[in-house]
Structure 1
Amino acid sequence: MLDTALMIVSAILCVALILNLWRLLRGPDLSDRILALDTMYINSIALILLYGMYMRTSLYFEAALLIAMLGFVSTVALCKYLLRGDIIE
């Protein structure tokens, strides 16, 4: 039962990733593209966590944590560059 639910949620997250990719490529503004990239890494974290639950191992949870930290830092850096034009003051 749990395996079926994990497969259904994984399929839904893959559809969400495809829609995020569409927004990333066709976004009318740079801020929309940054938001789509931010949402893509959140969805990829969810997929990695689901895969870790499916495989019943904790190794994927640590990988998801690393991706979350890198994604947060990259989103902050991109937004700061968008606002000020320079990352390091």
Structure 2
Amino acid sequence: MTPLLLVAIAVVTVAFVVAFIRLLLGPSLPDRVIAMDLMATVGSGGIALYAMVTNHGVLLDAVMVLSLIFFLGTIAFAYYLERQGEAP
């Protein structure tokens, strides 16, 4: 394993921990949802790093599908927030 991969794994781990702290301490619902989205994105990056370390390219397909699902979840939440301000 190269030193660059070790640094990348450390950065991904720190980013995940910081996002988890924001999830726990977030003052509002949008802050927490954004933290969850960031954790999903960083998790996808972690899986991609693991695929690079272990030479399993099939994991990159899973990362692509998960990223699409996370993106659609973020769009759904944005739509929910937009509709929340409208009168019924």
Q: TM-score range by the shorter chain?
A: 0.7 to 0.9
Distance 1:71 1:3 in 2: 30
Q: Which runs of 5+ in 2 are unaligned?
A: none
Deviations 1:16-74 (A, max 9, x none): 10110111111112111121111111101110110000011211100100110110011
Corresponding residue of 1:45: 44
SS in 2 for 1:7: helix
TM-score (norm 2): 0.86
Uncovered stretches (5+) of structure 1, i.e. residues with no partner:
none
Task: Provide the C-alpha distance between the structure 1 equivalents of 2:79 and 2:24, rounded to a whole number of angstroms.
Answer: 21
1:82 deviates by 2.1
Q: CA deviation at 1:9?
A: 1.1
Give the TM-score taking structure 1 as reference length.
0.85
Paired with 1:63 and 1:10, the residues of 2 have a C-alpha distance of 19
Give the RMSD, CA atoms, in angstroms: 1.3
Whole-angstrom CA distance in 2 between matches of 1:82 and 1:24: 18
Does 1:18 pair with 2:17? Answer: yes
Counterparts of 1:6-85 in structure 2, within 5 Å, are 6-85=5-84
**AA partner of residue 8 (structure 1):** V
Q: CA deviation at 1:8?
A: 2.1
| Percent identical | 31
Conserved? CA contact 1:3–1:54, under 8 Å = no
How far did residue 83 of structure 1 move?
A: 2.1
